[in-house]
Structure 1
Amino acid sequence: MSHEQSRTARGFSRRSALRLAGAGGLVTAGGTLLNGSPAAAAGLADLNTPPTYAPSGRRPRHRRATWSQQFQSGHGWSGAGTGTASADVNDTTQFVRGTQSVRVTTTGAGKQSYVRKLGGTSMSLTGKAIRLVFRVDDVTNLSKLSFYLGSGSLANYFLWQFHTHSTTSTNYVQSGEWVTVHLQWADVTSAAGTYSLSSTGVPSTTTGFTDMSFAVYDNAGGPVTYHLQTVELIPDTAAVFPKGVVSITFDDSHTSVHGLARPVMDTYGFSGTVYNIADAIGTGSFLTLDQMRSMQDFSGWEMGGHAYATSAHTASYSQLTAQQVDDDLRTLREWMVGNGFSSEHFAYPHGAFEKTKDGVPVDQIAGRHFTTARSIISETIESFAPAMPYRLKALTGINDGSGIGGTALSNLTAAGGRLDRCANNGDWLILCLHRVVDGTPTASTEISRTGLGTLMKAISDRGIPVVTVAEAMEYYT
Structure 2
Amino acid sequence: MSRRSALLMGGAGGVAMAGGGAWLGSVAAQPAAAPVAEGAIGGLTTPPPYAPSGRRPKNRRATWSQQFQASHGWTAGGAGTASAEANDRTQFVRGTQSVRVTTNGTGKQSYVRRSGMTAVNLTGKMIRLVFRVDDVTNLSKLVFYLGSGALKNHFSWTFHVHSRTAANYVQSGEWVTVHLQWADVTGAAGTYAISATGTPSTTAGFTDMSFAVYDNAGGPVTYRLQAVELIPDTADVFPRGVVSLTFDDSHKSIHDLARPVMDSFGFPGTVYNIADAIGTGSFLTVDQMRSMQNFSGWEMGGHAYANATHTASYPKLTAEQADEDFRRLREWLVSNGFTSEHFAYPHGAFQKTSDGVPVDLIASRHFTTARSIISETIESFAPAHPYRLKALTGITDGTGIGGTALSKLTGEGGRLDRCAESGDWLILCLHKVVEGAPRTSTEIGTAGLTTLMREIADRDIPVVTVEEAMAHYQ
Q: Distance in 2 between matches of 1:452 and 1:272?
A: 13
Residue number in structure 2 paired with 1:221: 218
**After TM superposition, what 4+ stretches of structure 1 lie above 4 angstroms from structure 2?**
34-37
Segments of 5+ residues of structure 1 without an aligned counterpart are 1-33, 38-45
Q: Distance in 1 between matches of 2:213 and 2:306?
A: 40
Q: Distance in 1 between matches of 2:115 and 2:301?
A: 46
Is 1:208 the equivalent of 2:198? no
Residue number in structure 1 paired with 2:68: 71
Is 1:361 the equivalent of 2:358? yes
Residue number in structure 2 paired with 1:456: 453
Alignment check: 8 A CA contact 2:130 2:226 kept: yes
Q: Distance in 2 between matches of 1:263 and 1:282?
A: 20
Aligned counterpart in structure 2 of residue 295 of structure 1, from 282, 292, 296: 292
Q: How many residues in Structure 1 have an aligned counterpart in Structure 2?
A: 436
Is 1:343 the equivalent of 2:340? yes
Residue number in structure 2 paired with 1:52: 49
Pairing of 1:20-59 with structure 2 (within 5 A):
48-59=45-56
Pairing of 1:147-226 with structure 2 (within 5 A):
147-226=144-223
The structure whose Rg is larger is: 1
Deviations 1:19-75 (A, max 9, x none): xxxxxxxxxxxxxxx9989xxxxxxxx954200111111000010000100000100
Q: Distance in 2 between matches of 1:80 and 1:209?
A: 20
Is 1:232 the equivalent of 2:223? no
Aligned counterpart in structure 2 of residue 410 of structure 1, from 389, 400, 407: 407
Q: Distance in 1 between matches of 2:122 and 2:332?
A: 45
Alignment check: 8 A CA contact 1:376 1:393 kept: yes
Give me the identity figure in percent: 78
Residue number in structure 2 paired with 1:380: 377
Q: Distance in 1 between matches of 2:320 and 2:170?
A: 24
Alignment check: 8 A CA contact 2:98 2:225 kept: yes
Pairing of 1:385-464 with structure 2 (within 5 A):
385-464=382-461
Is 1:116 the equivalent of 2:98? no
Residue number in structure 2 paired with 1:274: 271
Is 1:92 the equivalent of 2:89? yes
Q: Distance in 2 between matches of 1:365 and 1:68?
A: 32
Q: Distance in 2 between matches of 1:169 and 1:315?
A: 14
Letter matched to residue 212 of structure 1: M
Q: Distance in 2 between matches of 1:425 and 1:36?
A: 43
Q: Distance in 1 between matches of 2:210 and 2:234?
A: 23
Alignment check: 8 A CA contact 1:248 1:433 kept: yes
Alignment check: 8 A CA contact 2:3 2:319 kept: no
Q: Distance in 2 between matches of 1:48 and 1:295?
A: 37
Q: Distance in 2 between matches of 1:266 and 1:48?
A: 45
Residue number in structure 2 paired with 1:102: 99
Alignment check: 8 A CA contact 1:35 1:321 kept: no
Letter matched to residue 203 of structure 1: P
1:125: how far off? Answer: 0.2
Residue number in structure 2 paired with 1:308: 305
SS in 1 for 2:60: coil
SS in 1 for 2:418: helix
SS in 2 for 1:267: helix
Q: Distance in 1 between matches of 2:264 and 2:463?
A: 13
Aligned counterpart in structure 2 of residue 257 of structure 1, from 240, 254, 257: 254
Q: Distance in 1 between matches of 2:443 and 2:46?
A: 40
Alignment check: 8 A CA contact 2:4 2:357 kept: no
Q: Distance in 2 between matches of 1:97 and 1:391?
A: 22
Q: Distance in 2 between matches of 1:402 and 1:266?
A: 27
Segments of 5+ residues of structure 2 without an aligned counterpart are 6-42
Q: Distance in 1 between matches of 2:468 and 2:172?
A: 33
SS in 2 for 1:179: strand
Q: TM-score, normalised by structure 1?
A: 0.90
Q: Distance in 2 between matches of 1:315 and 1:201?
A: 39
Q: TM-score, normalised by structure 2?
A: 0.91
Deviations 1:117-152 (A, max 9, x none): 000000100000000000000000000000000000
Letter matched to residue 218 of structure 1: D
1:168: how far off? Answer: 1.6
Q: Distance in 2 between matches of 1:140 and 1:57?
A: 34
SS in 1 for 2:311: helix
Q: Distance in 2 between matches of 1:356 and 1:60?
A: 27
RMSD in angstroms over aligned alpha carbons? 1.2
Is 1:465 the equivalent of 2:462? yes
Alignment check: 8 A CA contact 1:236 1:384 kept: yes
Alignment check: 8 A CA contact 2:147 2:209 kept: yes
Q: Distance in 2 between matches of 1:375 and 1:326?
A: 18
Q: Distance in 2 between matches of 1:234 and 1:36?
A: 37
Residue number in structure 2 paired with 1:352: 349
Is 1:371 the equivalent of 2:365? no
